[in-house]
A and B are shown apart, each in its own frame.
Chain A
């Protein structure tokens, strides 16, 4: 099996896309979109990260196993976030201090 070699063009395009997304995210930060600000910001960050992972880090051409490692570690992180936040978001629901 030989290694996949991406073209310089691919890399350059990804680079440009990342720069453009950075510019957009800075620009959007100055608009008042209410709660949408965070959504846009995070969506752009996730998009940028995905580009880096897929192309700079070659996951687009990697084995299934590596894709699995990438996806499952992200998933694990989300589990940690979700379960911990479940505590913070439901504290006080019972209306009894500290329960």
Chain B
């Protein structure tokens, strides 16, 4: 923390106390307040999803199915996947961090469509409610992938309610993407050219493209599943000559790009963190910016890698395999660029940076195993085993969740104007890192040994690895719980942070913390790049007043 913080004062009027009362929150159009609404609700869904994960891990402690019945187990991992993917990881970075800082970063007073932004949150809550209803009724047991014909004809669980939930939630995601795209195109402050945009903006822009072009396809696919179940349409029904593999195409056409919805904004966070905590601009800014777009675009052409053993044509598999390899290259570029950003930098060990460095290591492992999975001859052995489970937790938890926590710890003082206890936050970062590896590394091994995923009981020889994994999960759980305590504590008792506790550049650090409702007294004029640490010059000019940088 820079010394600036010590003398800072808490502003009297800011977005949190601008208006009072619960309605002023529920009807707010302020992007910052909507971000807080998301923060609360997304965290709740994460806890619920985490609870399901704990059930799964506990059941798997022993080879026999002793804690849960098979039906409960299947519901537990399905609800875990559905909640975590659709209600936690997809919205977490864009809807919380993106909503909060995106407009400020580009010098705007709000997103282009504040009402639609609020509508997004309501759709999210509506979708969530349907899913919770399904859960309360007894849950769903189709897996988060809803494969037909199991989901359409054979499952006796609350598929319809969940499908409606996911469908509605999809539109929340679409509207967020729409808002971001229009905002980035139309609301940039004067002088904020495309190549002066912080990389977080580039990443969110790329994400939004995926949200717009991909989400509707999964929406219609899930809708057709629902209609097949309820009204008896027969589009995927093999008994009537339908092809269940067609559903997989439609599902993965979205759901592969969706993994980039989950990771691109996280990558944007990492770009910001590496620059701020190395006090230096990101190595190869343009390459990183273009990589985001490349990932978003190429990411649409690889979905078939989930279907190598599905009965898809072998020739199509070959095409998807090589394209998957290609999409890994921009990610590789980014990892190297981030690492070398530290070169000749001024590297601090603040909590957000610890998370960022954790991300680099874990995402590398997750990504490399992803490329392994893309290798045809290899995937036929490990497909639908714990190897895949380990891969995606490495990228999703080790990657995105780490980045999210880093971003949260980075912007927390901006959001609430107060610092959290540094010591505890570092402890939690370490616990997460250690617990995470202990949980998921053994799954690579047990996966290669042949343990299939979605197994409620398993042969004895796999037990040792499952015990390690369950042990790790409990450490991980503690690591994730800690922040909720000290962050809440800091709201009231934390040290006042001041406008720029990290000595960072970027428009959001020129506003008071917490920022006023309108963000800026007047729209700033931007005269420099996003990470001009070295020049030490003032790069933003507010009308009449100058903002300080560094």
Contact = CB atoms under 8 A, between A and B. Distances in A.
A and B touch in the complex (CB under 8 A): yes
Interface of A: 65, 73, 76, 79-80, 83-84, 86-94, 98-99
Interface string B244-262: 0110010001000000000
A88 B242 CA distance: 13
Interface stretch (B96-104, B269-277, B310-318): B310-318
Nearest to A92: B313
B156 to A, nearest CB: 29
B217 interface: yes
A83 B304 contact: yes
Contact of B313 (A65, A73, A91): A91
A93 B316 contact: no
9 contacts: A80-B217, A83-B301, A83-B319, A84-B249, A86-B313, A90-B313, A90-B316, A91-B313, A92-B313
B359 interface: no
A98 B313 CA distance: 7
Contact of B319 (A73, A86, A88, A92): A86
B300 A87 contact: no
Contacts, number: 45
Contacts of B313: 86-94, 99
A94 B245 CA distance: 18
Contact of A73 (B213, B249, B253): B213
Nearest to A77: B213
A79 B312 contact: no
B545 interface: no
Nearest to A93: B315
A-B pairs with the 8 shortest C-beta distances? Answer: A90-B313, A87-B316, A90-B315, A91-B313, A99-B314, A98-B311, A84-B249, A87-B313
B193 to A, nearest CB: 16
Contacts of B301: 79, 83
A94 B314 contact: yes
Interface in B277-305: 300-301, 303-304
Interface in B204-229: 213, 217
**Chain B contact surface mostly:** helix
Nearest to A88: B313
B300 A76 contact: yes
Contacts of B246: 84
A91 B307 CA distance: 13
Contact of B300 (A65, A73, A79, A93): A79
Nearest to B323: A83
A96 to B, nearest CB: 8
A97 to B, nearest CB: 9
A73 B314 CA distance: 28
Interface-central residue, B245, B311, B316, by most chain A CB under 10 Å? B316
Nearest to B309: A98
B399 to A, nearest CB: 26
Given A76-B300, A79-B301, A98-B311, A86 B213 contact: no
Contacts of A73: 213
A99 B308 CA distance: 10
Contacts of A79: 300-301
Contact of B304 (A65, A87, A91, A98): A87
Contacts of A88: 313
A73 B181 CA distance: 14
Given A83-B301, A83-B304, A76 B315 contact: no
Nearest to A87: B316
Contact of B213 (A76, A93, A99): A76
A9 B158 CA distance: 55
B185 interface: yes
A25 B249 CA distance: 32
Given A65-B185, A73-B213, A76-B300, A83 B316 contact: yes
A72 to B, nearest CB: 8
Nearest to B311: A98
Contacts of B217: 80
Contacts of A86: 313, 315-316, 319
B374 to A, nearest CB: 16
A83 B300 CA distance: 10
Interface string B319-343: 1100000000000000000000000
A21 B518 CA distance: 53
Interface string B184-197: 01000000000000
A26 to B, nearest CB: 28
B307 to A, nearest CB: 8
A80 B301 CA distance: 8
Interface string B461-505: 000000000000000000000000000000000000000000000
Contacts of A76: 213, 300
